[in-house]
A and B are shown apart, each in its own frame.
Chain A
């Protein structure tokens, strides 16, 4: 994995213990990731705390909608007000669409991710990609994937956080339908994207 393979300073060619050698001479070695079960229980407790404190769960894609709505509203306020989608995020128009719970939560996600990665030595200016494609190809794929997800998440009114986790835990029918459909879509697309990842 790329998390254990930065800046290698010299590898003994043909050695049967190449892997061990590589690890030993790697500078700034990143700590291994936590067990996904433990990290999952951690996120579950954060989600539960959110229910207890706020009466609502976690989310992510809604913050993107607020940012886009704020930009559209800044550039063309009448256009935004006349659009049923932007109007949802404009609310009563008293404050900026950026004064939104999910926007603040996502600012926290950025800080928390940064803190965790910094303490584990995992901050790295790099591009995560499969070995068979170039960095630029990966960046184009990421942008297109993001755009497609943005459309899907808005149509479904949520993503893997707001529907998957929050709706999953509150037993929302639509959320479970979304998660099943999302994994079906991903597994259907994966064979065509093999070159990008393997």
Chain B
């Protein structure tokens, strides 16, 4: 029965080996998808290259459906899988701040590591900036602690929030993702079309 670590099938030292191996595969696919290139990522925000949206939604759908089926087949105990905790207000405000930084820097924390590893100086600058930002947050934490810990909802899930079944929510997310993929393809075709008719050949 999965998750294997949760059921004591391997220990802490082995879990760190698993971490490196999963990280290698994660970094590999990020680089394959062009996510180590800030200019490609920035295209997301000008509707010219929507790879970020396509990649993120494809990954979420794959893992979400996999979890659902493994749990349905009785192979995985979903209650032992960690759900990131909800803090409504800090996550909304933190998300807005994060998004402004994302558009400015053109890479996110994970992809900046790939960019830095493949020789992109901007990736290295962004990694250093992240460390500086986390340090500033850490030093400011005593003053914003009350807000940062506010509106805690624990492991709150979309089925809980909407009072819908797990399967219904998953169906809605799949439908939204397929719609987003179609919209992304349409936007990219529109961006490729030249603004003015091409000059006649000389």
Contacts and interface: CB of A to CB of B under 8 A. Distances in A.
Interface residues of A, number: 130
A185 B26 contact: no
Given A117-B118, A150-B136, A160-B108, A171 B96 contact: no
B28 A84 contact: no
B91 A84 contact: no
Contact of A173 (B28, B56, B161): B161
Given A109-B114, A114-B118, A152 B31 contact: no
Interface residues of B, number: 129
Contacts of A39: 29-30, 32-35, 55, 58
Nearest to A180: B95
A141 B105 contact: yes
Main secondary structure of the interface of B (DSSP, over half): helix
Interface string A14-37: 101000000000000000011111
Interface in A141-172: 141-172
25 contacts: A33-B33, A33-B37, A33-B40, A39-B55, A41-B62, A44-B63, A49-B25, A85-B145, A101-B16, A108-B22, A110-B23, A113-B117, A115-B28, A122-B36, A128-B120, A129-B39, A155-B90, A159-B98, A159-B108, A164-B56, A169-B63, A169-B67, A173-B158, A174-B156, A182-B95
- The 10 A-B residue pairs whose C-beta atoms are closest, nearest first, are A108-B23, A145-B105, A150-B133, A185-B99, A44-B62, A146-B129, A40-B58, A181-B95, A112-B27, A156-B94
